[in-house]
Amino acid sequence: MNIGSASAERSLVADDPAVAPPRRSRRLDGGTLLRVAEAYALLGLTVALVVLFSLLPATRDTFPTAANLQATLGNQSVLAIVALAALIPLVAQAYDFSVGATMGLASILAATVLSSGSPIVVALAIAVAVGLAVGVVNGLLVTRAGVSSVVVTLGTATIVQGAVSWKTGGQSIVNGISTALTDFGSGDLLGVPLVVYVALVVACGVYFLLRHTPYGRYVQALGSNANAARLVGLNVNRLTLSTFVIAGALAGGAGLLQVARSGAGNPQVGAGFTLPAIAAAFLSVAAIKPGRFNVWGTIVAILFLSTLNSGLNLAGVSSYVNDFANGTALIAGVALAGVFGRRRAGGA
C-alpha cells in the first residue's frame, strides 16, 4: 500500500463537505441563549430596578448617591453571610430556619462579652462557638432523631429567640462596645464599606468549599440524590450534620459583624434576618447557575432584594410593603427551585 496515496486520500475525504464530519458552529444556538437569559435574568432585573429608582421622581435625588450605595451595601453584608449560612444545608436538601435567630443570639452574647471589657477575639470566639453549638443540636436532631429539618430549625429558632429575650429583658446592649470594632463596622476602603470585603471573603470561601473540594462535591451529590450518595459509600448523616454545623458557625460570626455594624446588641434583630436570608438562598436557583443553589446566585439575590427594599424605603412606602416583597421573593424562590428540580429530574 502506498502510504502517501492513502494520506492524500484521507485529506481529500476530510476536505469533502459531503463526507467530512460537520464542524462545530461557534454561533450561539437558541438553547444557549435561553440558558444565558436564565442565568442573568435576575441580575438584569436588579439593574432595571437601579435605573427605575434613579429616574423615579420620589427617589431620584436620594437613591443614586454614593451615601445610599455605601449604606445599602454595608447593611446587606451581614445578611449576605446569614444567607450563605442558610445556603449550605440547602445544597444538601436540608433547611435551616434558625440562622437568623442564631445570628441574633451570637450578637447578644458577643456584645455582652465586649461590654465586660473582653477583647474582640474573645467575642468572636464566643459568637462562633454559640453558632457551632446551635448547628450541632440542629444536625443531631435531624440525623439521629430523624426529625424534619424544617420542624427542628423552626423549633430551635423559637427557643433561641426566647433565650435572647430572657437574657436581655428586651433591652439592647449598647455600653462598653469596643470602639475599634464599631470603627471597623462603619469604616470603608476605597469608598467600599469594610464589612463588604468581609462578606466577599466569606462568599469566596463558601464557593471554594462547595465547588472545588471533595467535601463540596459530596454535599452536592447528597443534595442531588441521597439514596445514590448512600449507595456509593458516602456517610449521609455525617455530611448532613456538617452542613448545619458550618451554617451555625457562619451565622455566629455574622452576629459579631452585626454588632460592629450597629454598635449594639439588639434582641429584636435576629428574626428580621431569617426571611430575607432564606429568600435569597432559594432565589439563587434563578441566577448564575439556574436550577442549583449557588453562592453567586445568592449574592445576586441579595443585591436584588436590597435594591428593591432600599428603593421602596426611599420612596416612602409603608414598611409592610417590604414584608410583601420579601415574602413574595421567598415563594418565588421555592417555586423556581421546584420547577428547575423537576426539569433536572426529567432530563436525567
Q: Over 70: is that where the pLDDT of 144 sits?
A: yes
Domains with residue ranges and CATH for the chain: 40-55+63-285+292-342 (1.10.3470)
Per DSSP, helices labelled H in the chain are 3-15, 30-55, 66-91, 99-115, 120-143, 149-168, 179-186, 194-211, 214-224, 226-231, 236-262, 271-283, 295-314, 319-347
pLDDT at 36: 75
- Segment among 12-16, 131-135, 214-218 with least mean pLDDT: 12-16
Query: Residues 6 or more apart from 235 whose CB is under 8 A from it?
Result: none
Confidence class for position 127, pLDDT limits 50, 70, 90: very high
Confidence class for position 198, pLDDT limits 50, 70, 90: very high
Q: Over 80: is that where the pLDDT of 347 sits?
A: no
Among the listed residues 225, 287, 317, the one whose alpha carbon sits nearest the alpha carbon of residue 38:
287
Per residue in 300-315, pLDDT (tens digit) is: 999 988 888 888 888 8
Could you please report the per-residue DSSP string of 115-141? HTT--HHHHHHHHHHHHHHHHHHHHHH
The C-alpha cell at 227 is 439514596
pLDDT at 59: 87
pLDDT at 282: 87
Confidence class for position 138, pLDDT limits 50, 70, 90: very high
Among the listed residues 91, 300, 71, the one whose alpha carbon sits nearest the alpha carbon of residue 191:
71
The upper half-sphere exposure of residue 163, i.e. CA atoms within 13 Å in the direction of its Cβ, equals: 18
